[in-house]
Amino acid sequence: MRAEIGIIGGTGIYDSDAFENIREISVDTPFGKPSDNIIIGDFAGKSVAFLPRHGRGHVYSPSKVPYRANIYALKKLGVERIISVAAVGSLKEEIRPLDIVIPDQIFDRTKHREDTFFEDIVIHVGMAEPFCNEMREITARVLEGLNLRYHDRGVYVCIEGPQFSTKAESNVYRKLGFDIIGMTALPEAKLAREAEICYITIATVTDYDVWKDVEVDVKTVLENAAKNEENVKRVLKELIPIIPEERGCECGDALKFAITTARDKIGEDVREKLGIFLNKYL
Ligand SMILES: [Zn+2]
């Protein structure tokens, strides 16, 4: 079973009407089971894998999502591009609820997550540009064409959660120039880079976090989330068909100069567990 494109997000963005030949599969990895079974479907001649990040029924908190198993499972299916969909809060006046942000940078404020595949071997991948710029650019074009309100860059601060920020934290993040706040882009972006998979986040804004003194009512937030889901479905329908077959970015060579451990010191057990990432270099 193969797929070229992986979509990680809520169950709401999976639109069965748009896809043909739908199958559901269970995938095992050396890092355990992914969040849920993976649904694979065909759309516009492309094979697309859907993985609900928090599991169906929303059972994994942001700290407990099996991120390594999720990225490994998609790699195993042959996925070269991951489109991550995530709800965020806005830290800027001009980034309004219902806007979409395609972040270009991340700031890590997570604390309790396993964020590398490479514990038994030394590999330092570059993270200067944490998102795939080719995919960001294509996605921005789609947003422009659909006439949706969007921002083609932004700094995503990833907090541990599950609690939301205090006002002091939210104001400090604003002073530091961060644009949006969420709980899931890390370690996904780091793991995708280690797996040499392109990664972008389509961040949908639900509210203004807590810095702005506005009454946040749950009803509005839920209504916004539902509208955001509809917008994301429209974006995916336009985006998937125009993703070029060949990658024009550097994501696929992330390990080229990154493996520090001497090849003859890499044991059989490591080769077996991580071969999916390392084989082309060993
Ligand atoms: Zn890329």
Share above pLDDT 90 across residues of the chain, in percent, rounded to a whole number: 90
| pLDDT range class, residue 219, cuts 50, 70, 90 | confident
| pLDDT range class, residue 16, cuts 50, 70, 90 | confident
What pLDDT sits at residue 213? 81
152-156, 189-193, 210-214, 256-260: segment of lowest average pLDDT:
210-214
Rounded-to-integer distance, Cα 100 and Cα 88, Å = 9
Ligand 1 mean position to 135 CA, how many Å? 6
Ligand 1 mean position to 236 CA, how many Å? 17
Res 15 pLDDT > 80: no
Ligand 1 mean position to 217 CA, how many Å? 38
Region 19-31: mean pLDDT is 95
What pLDDT sits at residue 130? 98
Rounded-to-integer distance, Cα 97 and Cα 274, Å = 41
**Of 85 and 217, the one with more pLDDT:** 85
What pLDDT sits at residue 128? 98
Res 216 pLDDT > 90: no
Res 215 pLDDT > 90: no
Res 239 pLDDT > 80: yes
CATH node for 86-281: 3.40.50.1580
What pLDDT sits at residue 259? 93
Ligand 1 mean position to 94 CA, how many Å? 28
| pLDDT range class, residue 44, cuts 50, 70, 90 | confident
Res 149 pLDDT > 90: yes
- Assess contact for 87 and 209: CB atoms under 8 A: no
Q: How would DSSP label each residue in the chain?
A: ---SEEEEE-GGG--GGG-EEEEEE---BTTB--SSPEEEEEETTEEEEEEETTTTTT-S-TTTS-HHHHHHHHHHTT--EEEEEEEEEE-STTS-TT-EE--SEEEEE--S----S-SSS-B----SS-S-HHHHHHHHHHHHHHT--EES--EEEEE--SSPPPHHHHHHHHHTT--EEESSHHHHHHHHHHTT-EEEEEEEEEE-TTTS-----HHHHHHHHHHHHHHHHHHHHHHHHHS-SS--SSGGGTTTTTB-S-GGGS-HHHHHHHHHHHGGG-
What pLDDT sits at residue 183? 96
Rounded-to-integer distance, Cα 202 and Cα 236, Å = 10
**Of 106 and 15, the one with more pLDDT:** 106
Is position 36 annotated as part of the catalytic site? Answer: no
Ligand 1 mean position to 218 CA, how many Å? 37
What would the pLDDT profile of 150-173 be if each residue is shown by its tens digit?
999 999 999 999 999 999 999 999
What pLDDT sits at residue 7? 97
Kindly report whether the peptide bond that precedes residue 66 is cis, defined as omega within 30 degrees of 0: no
Neighbours of ion ligand 1 (CB under 5 A): 132, 198, 249, 251
Region 181-203: mean pLDDT is 98
What pLDDT sits at residue 234? 94
pTM: 0.97
Rounded-to-integer distance, Cα 207 and Cα 258, Å = 39
Which of 15, 207, 253, 264 is labelled catalytic? 207
Which of 209, 217, 253, 264 is labelled catalytic? 209
Average pLDDT of the chain?
A: 95
| pLDDT range class, residue 145, cuts 50, 70, 90 | very high
Is position 253 annotated as part of the catalytic site? Answer: no
